[in-house]
């Protein structure tokens, strides 16, 4: 792993330092992005950095300097020889009080890059016993306040699954801890709308766009957990998973990946190879 912190590159990540009173550490007052590096180039950086800006605005943080972010990305990419990597960009309010009062800064920017591996084409998921709040201040924000997701992912791992799925406070399907979820009903590929409070995933956006352009009927609408588990196919999307079929969800099982999922996996792989920075 290579780590860059506020202009300094650390080949040994254990040497990197941030303040003990950084508000990102003290209260989770920060935002982040995670996305792939393919053959030494960042995949979808423009879309991810635009979301970083939106998340920072929602959190009341100063606007991040995207030129500085790209400087950090270039620094950690230099000499990175692995075909697949994963960026993690973390932006916090910087130093602040030992409480929930606003950080006084200056802001902290961390860019890290690690080796990544292609995930298998199918996985297992479980429903978490907790709900996403439709009206929460952080609904749809990629915040570093990830304690709820950590707990939900541990819950999934205890049940031999790689993802935990949330229903929202209205009783409709929402999202995974780090992924968006799609269900295939006949000829429709359906995912919860942004009004259901999922994160506006970049891979979700591309799946909707590229799937539609490939002739699939892509739909955003509310639907319940019970309806979802009666779907013909289920798959997840995320920057690390791309398009990943679901073979087991709680007690429900499928032959995965199904034909629609396979088609979208093929489309996504083709478009990803052709367009390193779609926007």
Stated pTM of the model: 0.96
Q: Which of 87, 115, 143 is the last residue of a domain?
A: 115
Sites in the chain below the pLDDT cut of 50: none
Selection from 220, 224, 249, 225 nearest residue 235 by Cα: 249
Q: Which of 115, 145, 161 is the last residue of a domain?
A: 115
Selection from 48, 236, 232 nearest residue 156 by Cα: 236
Establish whether the linkage from the previous residue to 257 is cis, with ω within 30° of 0.
yes
Helix axis angle, 66-77 to 45-59, nearest 10°: 130
Q: How many residues does the chain have?
A: 279
Number of domains in the chain: 2
Distance in angstroms (rounded) separating the CA atoms of residues 70 and 8: 13
Paired residues of 108 in beta bridges: 92
Tell me what pLDDT residue 266 has.
98
195 and 242 co-located in one domain: yes
144 and 228 co-located in one domain: yes
Tell me what pLDDT residue 148 has.
95
Distance in angstroms (rounded) separating the CA atoms of residues 185 and 179: 20
Q: Contact 170/205 with Cβ under 8 angstroms? A: no
Tell me what pLDDT residue 11 has.
83
Residue 90: inside a domain, yes or no? yes
Range of the domain at 228: 122-274
110 and 161 co-located in one domain: no
Tell me what pLDDT residue 147 has.
94
110 and 137 co-located in one domain: no
Selection from 237, 250, 130, 155 nearest residue 189 by Cα: 237
Whichever domain contains 196, its CATH number is 3.20.10.10
Residue 279: inside a domain, yes or no? no
Tell me what pLDDT residue 183 has.
99
């Amino acid at each position: 792993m290579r780590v860059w912190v506020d202009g300094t590159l650390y080949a040994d990540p254990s040497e990197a330092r941030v303040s003990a009173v950084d508000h990102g550490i003290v209260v989770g007052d920060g935002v982040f992005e995670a996305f792939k590096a393919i053959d030494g180039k960042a995949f979808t950086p423009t879309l991810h950095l635009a979301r970083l800006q939106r998340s920072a605005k929602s959190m009341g943080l100063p606007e991040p300097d995207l030129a500085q972010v790209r400087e950090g990305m270039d620094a950690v990419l230099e000499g990175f020889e692995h075909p697949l990597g994963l960026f993690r960009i973390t932006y916090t309010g910087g130093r602040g009080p030992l409480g929930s009062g606003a950080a006084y800064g200056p802001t902290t920017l961390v860019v890290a890059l690690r080796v990544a591996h292609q995930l298998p084409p199918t996985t297992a998921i479980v429903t978490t016993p907790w709900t996403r709040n439709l009206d929460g201040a952080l609904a749809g924000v990629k915040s570093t306040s990830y304690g709820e997701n950590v707990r939900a992912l541990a819950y999934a791992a205890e049940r031999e699954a790689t993802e935990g799925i949330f229903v929202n406070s209205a009783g409709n399907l929402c999202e995974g801890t780090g992924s968006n979820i799609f269900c295939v009903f006949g000829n429709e590929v359906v995912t919860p709308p942004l009004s259901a409070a999922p994160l506006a995933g970049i891979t979700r956006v591309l799946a909707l766009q590229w799937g539609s352009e490939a002739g699939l009927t892509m739909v955003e609408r509310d639907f319940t957990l019970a309806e979802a588990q009666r779907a013909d196919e289920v798959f997840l999307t995320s920057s690390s998973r791309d398009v990943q079929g679901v073979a087991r969800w709680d007690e429900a099982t499928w032959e995965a990946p199904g034909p629609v999922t396979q088609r979208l996996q093929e489309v996504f792989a083709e478009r990803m190879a052709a367009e390193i920075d779609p926007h």
